[in-house]
């Protein structure tokens, strides 16, 4: 029999667990929601796995979650007979936090007093058990394997790993509960009545039966939320469902609930989150919504259902007429799925358009940068996307403007929308390119996101009004053309002398106080884009 191994948590994990244990996160009940959510995911995975691999030696007859408590011993056990984990999976999934942005997140946690809120934002699922338990033991066996693994920890820097010969199918998490304490909002989680009410509150919609040990009847109704009429679903129910599908701890910003009838029937329950995940801009950021077929979970992150620029949208699409073993590849090519995706995009854009000003601001602050990618990725909806953008501008330092507002504010005679791209507001504001526009009272949009460099090349107008960089080509500010006149000789001398660096030296009406500035040709790369390409070694 293998000996017990003692392993150390990854530094970030240790810090997060300490924060969790000493957290003043007020709602400790949610640890149960997190464990049940994991159990439900594990049951989904087992079902899928056994469809894909018909030889897999598993018992599918009674997939469920069981809650067993011992009031004298003060323990609570959450058991599922789902997919389970191998030893290595336990070490990598439970011992480390692979989420990108963890280090950054922890730095922010240390700097602020609001650790409770930020912990919630991070949503560290499994570890939430340590809010209510002094010791957590997990015994698990991966579907198809003979031996199991026991993981145990008090949440203080190390955990132990053992081999287990007689582990049942799936995963059992046992908590040695801290003493109940009303002040600390710790209820008696070994009391079946307490468990029942928490399950009803947070996990009612879970599609697998959640039973109290010894009882036949599940505690949860198992009703798919998306199949119920909107008028019958409460905000709390939407919120809890969102937290399960999105693995988030924060209520969503907005709910999109729709039903399509006709030749291809489906229901969709989508959410716009209130906070961006830390990995929104990593290459492998999860994207897409969950796909169900007739209430049965098929896959997470179904990319075919939502474009990349809307990757922050979370939720579920339940299609009536798909095969249960549809693959990602088939989905990508399915004409009907493409039609569903177009409908979903329209619906999400429409929802964003109708957000209250406060909600829109939150949306923009959290997701604006990702959303702008849509200008390139989704030309068909370009107008709708343009209408949803916000920009800094020279008009007002603190306030953002939409293109519509900019267009409506234009003084008589201004026929174009002007912008300048750059690293920061400060560099842009100091640019000599702005001088003549300032003098004229023309507003200039200040574009500082790297993605701005890319879309401005492709989007040349808004609502028929040309979009123009103030740093490129000739700008027509309605002033008299400048004739070289007496400067002719000087200009040709300068052009010759600077031949290595510039194409031409000419007189300009764009400057007011600066003696000279460098401009690009209309079809040149902007300086920032040039820098970007150079940095990428191109
Ligand atoms: P998340 O659910 O957001 O991924 P968690 O901390 O809740 O984060 O869980 C971490 C990972 O551990 C899960 O993604 C899953 O792979 C694994 N895991 C946790 N609980 C179980 C379980 N009951 N059965 C199988 N795997 C589990
Ligand atoms: Mg989880």
- Structure token pair of residue 507: 């007189």
Question: How many Å apart are CA 63 and CA 59, to the nearest integer?
Answer: 8
Ligand 1 centre distance from Cα of residue 85 (Å): 9
Q: Whose CA is nearest to atom 10 of ligand 1?
A: 93
pLDDT: which is higher, 517 or 526: 517
Question: How many Å apart are CA 226 and CA 230, to the nearest integer?
Answer: 8
Confidence band, pLDDT 50/70/90 cuts, at residue 530: low
Q: What is the pLDDT of residue 533?
A: 61
Q: What is the pLDDT of residue 107?
A: 74
Residue 475 has pLDDT above 80, yes or no: no
Residue 201 to residues 64, 240, 305, 482, Cα–Cα distance (Å) = 18, 8, 30, 74
Ligand 2 centre distance from Cα of residue 125 (Å): 4
The residue-averaged pLDDT of 429-446 equals 89
Out of 258-272, 501-515, 523-537, least confident range: 523-537
Residue 353 has pLDDT above 90, yes or no: yes
Q: What is the pLDDT of residue 262?
A: 84
Averaged pLDDT score across all residues of the chain: 88
Instruction: Name all contacts of 224-229 with Cβ < 8 Å and 24+ positions apart.
Output: 224/292, 224/295, 224/318, 225/269, 226/257, 226/267, 226/268, 226/269, 226/316, 226/318, 227/267, 227/295, 227/318
Q: Is 124 annotated as a binding residue?
A: yes
The residue-averaged pLDDT of 420-438 equals 89
Out of 309-323, 443-457, 489-503, least confident range: 489-503
Residues of the chain with pLDDT > 90: what percent? 59
Q: Tell me the chain's radius of gyration from C-alpha atoms.
A: 29
3-state SS class at 174: strand
Question: How many Å apart are CA 82 and CA 45, to the nearest integer?
Answer: 7
Q: What is the ipTM of this complex?
A: 0.99
Confidence band, pLDDT 50/70/90 cuts, at residue 191: very high
Query: Are 163 and 1 a contacting pair, CB within 8 Å?
Result: yes
Confidence band, pLDDT 50/70/90 cuts, at residue 13: confident
pLDDT: which is higher, 275 or 506: 275
Give the pLDDT confidence of 305-314 residue by residue, as tens digits. Answer: 999 999 999 9
Of 126, 130, 206, 284, best ligand 1 pocket probe by most atoms within 8 Å of the beta carbon: 126
Q: Is 80 annotated as a binding residue?
A: yes
Question: How many Å apart are CA 509 and CA 430, to the nearest integer?
Answer: 18
Give the pLDDT confidence of 119-176 residue by residue, as tens digits. Answer: 666 667 899 899 999 999 999 999 999 999 999 999 988 999 999 999 999 999 999 9
Ligand 2 centre distance from Cα of residue 120 (Å): 13
Q: What is the pLDDT of residue 51?
A: 85
Chain position carrying tokens 């026991």 = 150
Phi, psi of 315 (to 5 degrees): 145, -155
Q: Whose CA is nearest to atom 18 of ligand 1?
A: 38
Which residues are within 5 Å of ligand 2 (an ion), measured at CB? 37-38, 125
Residue 529 has pLDDT above 80, yes or no: no
Q: What is the pLDDT of residue 519?
A: 74
């Amino acid at each position: 029999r293998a000996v017990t191994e003692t392993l150390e948590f990854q530094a970030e994990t240790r810090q997060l667990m300490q924060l969790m244990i000493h957290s003043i996160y007020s709602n400790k009940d949610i640890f149960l929601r997190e464990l049940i959510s994991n159990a439900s995911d594990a049951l989904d995975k087992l079902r899928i796995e056994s469809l894909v691999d018909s030889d897999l030696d598993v018992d599918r007859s009674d997939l469920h979650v069981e809650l067993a408590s011992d009031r004298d011993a003060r323990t609570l056990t959450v058991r599922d007979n789902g997919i389970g984990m191998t030893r290595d999976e336990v070490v990598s999934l439970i011992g480390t936090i692979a989420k990108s942005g963890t280090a950054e997140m922890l730095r922010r946690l240390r700097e602020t007093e609001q650790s409770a809120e930020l912990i919630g934002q991070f949503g560290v699922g499994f570890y939430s058990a340590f809010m209510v338990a002094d010791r957590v033991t997990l015994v698990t066996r991966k579907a198809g394997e003979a031996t199991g693994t026991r993981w145990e920890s008090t949440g203080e820097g190390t955990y132990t790993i053992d081999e287990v010969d007689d582990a049942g199918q799936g995963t059992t998490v046992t908590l040695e509960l801290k003493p109940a304490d009303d002040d600390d909002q710790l209820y008696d989680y070994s009391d079946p009545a307490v468990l029942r009410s928490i399950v009803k509150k947070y996990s009612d919609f879970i599609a697998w039966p959640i039973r109290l040990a010894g009882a036949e009847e599940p505690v949860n109704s198992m009703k798919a939320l998306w199949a119920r009429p909107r008028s019958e679903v409460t905000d709390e129910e939407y919120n809890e469902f969102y937290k399960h599908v999105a693995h988030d701890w924060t209520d969503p910003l907005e709910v999109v609930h729709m039903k399509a009838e006709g030749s291809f029937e489906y229901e969709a329950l989508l959410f716009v989150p209130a906070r961006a995940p830390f990995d929104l801009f990593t290459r492998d950021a999860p994207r897409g919504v969950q796909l169900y077929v007739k209430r049965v979970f098929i896959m997470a992150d179904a990319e075919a259902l939502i474009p990349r620029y809307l990757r922050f949208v979370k939720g579920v699409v339940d299609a009536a007429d798909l095969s249960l073993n549809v693959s990602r590849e088939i989905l990508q090519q399915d004409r009907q799925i493409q039609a569903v995706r177009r409908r979903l995009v329209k619906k999400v854009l429409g929802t964003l358009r109708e957000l209250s000003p406060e909600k829109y601001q939150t949306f923009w602050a959290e997701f604006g940068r990702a959303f702008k990618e849509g200008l390139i990725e989704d030309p068909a909806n370009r107008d709708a996307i343009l209408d949803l953008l916000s920009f800094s501008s020279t008009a007002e330092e603190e306030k953002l403007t939409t293109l519509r507002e900019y267009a409506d504010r234009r003084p008589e005679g201004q026929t174009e929308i002007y912008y300048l791209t750059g690293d920061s507001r400060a560099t842009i504001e100091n640019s000599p390119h702005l001088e003549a526009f300032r003098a004229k009272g023309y507003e200039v949009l200040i574009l500082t996101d790297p993605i701005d460099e890319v879309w401005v090349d492709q989007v040349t107008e808004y609502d028929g009004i040309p979009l123009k960089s103030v740093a490129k080509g000739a700008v027509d500010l309605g002033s008299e053309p400048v004739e070289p006149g007496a400067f002719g000789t000087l200009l040709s001398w300068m052009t010759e002398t600077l031949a290595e660096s510039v194409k031409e030296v000419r007189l300009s009406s764009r400057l007011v106080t600066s003696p000279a500035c460098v401009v690009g040709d209309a079809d040149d790369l902007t300086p920032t884009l040039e820098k970007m390409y150079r940095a990428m070694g191109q």
